[in-house]
Amino acid sequence: MSTLHHEMPMIKLPNGVLVPALGQGTWRMGEDPAHKANEIKALRTGIDLGMTLIDTAEMYGSGKTERLVGDAIQGAREKVFLVSKVVPLHAGRLDLANACEGSLRRLRTDRLDLYLLHWRNGASLPSVVDGFERLREQGKIRSWGVSNFDLEDMEDLRKVPHGAEVATNQVLYNLMNRECEWALEPWCRARDIPLMAYTPFADGALLRHPAVIRVAEAHSATRAQVALAWLLNQHAVMVIPKASDARHARENRAAAELRLTTEDLNQLERAFPPPRRATSLKVA
Ligand SMILES: NC(=O)c1ccc[n+]([C@@H]2O[C@H](COP(=O)([O-])OP(=O)(O)OC[C@H]3O[C@@H](n4cnc5c(N)ncnc54)[C@H](OP(=O)(O)O)[C@@H]3O)[C@@H](O)[C@H]2O)c1
């Protein structure tokens, strides 16, 4: 496959901001000092190649991951679209501002581009949205969204004052986990709310699947690239593979060049059919 990089496909958020369809995850990074140099190198390689959307969370490594991301983006902050997440326990009216300050401090920045509620878990949606909106007014965050919200959660959110300002929903989505396609994705599509797909390789299981191997071989591409290209081919989906190896980061970036044919898509559709009955969203 060609390694020539064309323009990165972009996704428009509801506030009109364009973000790269292919970003970088960071879960499990920053936990072992022995891997720090490689992890920073991988993230910087990805940024240089246009994968400037970086997803992290206060929960990852109990703050260690945000610190690593803070190191990785030094000198490149203006290029990066920085996403972090707050756990529901910290999303109450007072705690949210503190949680955000903590993330900003660890990330060594003065604002987040996108701040997500990591999962719902009984969080009071009116107070979470109110807190997000205050942070936005103060310039600490540019936009906010949610993660692991199924259809009913999104419907509840839209009923809350300013709930319709939600920028995205970050969900488990890959060829083996197509649950969101049953009801959530069409609902979001109708409202121009893009999805952000996490765990694109299904914990590696996809990379061993014969159908993925066949398509990869037909294009002299890698299996990971097929998994990513399929997601990039979906409507309004951002994808955030995590790579702590710079070679993986380069390989993932090149997935945006892979054009799956109708025949490839049909093969993958047969091997990984979409849900045929009501199915709930799964969580990693
Ligand atoms: N909102 C949520 O609840 C939630 C849940 C899970 C994940 N996430 C976010 O989504 C991101 C991605 O999900 P994930 O970390 O679960 O899994 P993932 O990105 O599907 O997989 C990461 C694994 O794939 C490997 N890998 C990366 N590129 C590869 C390539 N080109 N070829 C072969 N292997 C490759 C990585 O290895 P190396 O590290 O050695 O390069 C790592 O072992 C997370 O990092 C996190 O930011 C969010």
What is the number of the ligand 1 atom nearest to the C-alpha of 248?
31
Tell how far the Cα of 244 is from the centroid of ligand 1, in angstroms. 9
Atom of ligand 1 nearest to the CA of 27: 45
Asked whether 248 lines ligand 1 (CB < 6 A), one says yes
Q: Is the CB of 67 under 6 A from ligand 1?
A: no
pLDDT at 5: 62
Query: What are the tens digits of pLDDT across the range 149-192?
Result: 999 999 999 999 999 999 999 999 999 999 999 999 999 999 99
Split at pLDDT 50, 70, 90, the class of 29 is: very high
Closest C-alpha residue for ligand 1 atom 37? 243
CA angle 184, 190, 196 (to 5 degrees): 50
How much is the pLDDT for 208? 97
What's the pLDDT at 6? 72
84 touches ligand 1 (CB under 6 Å):
no
pLDDT digits 0-9 by tens, 81-118: 999 999 999 998 789 999 999 999 999 999 999 999 99
Ligand 1 in contact with 242 (CB < 6 A)? yes
Mean pLDDT over each residue of the chain, to the nearest integer: 96
pLDDT recorded at residue 7? 85
Catalytic residue, chosen from 60, 115, 173, 198, is 60
Q: Who has greater pLDDT, 7 or 226?
A: 226
Annotated active-site residue 60? The verdict is yes
Which pTM value belongs to this model? 0.97
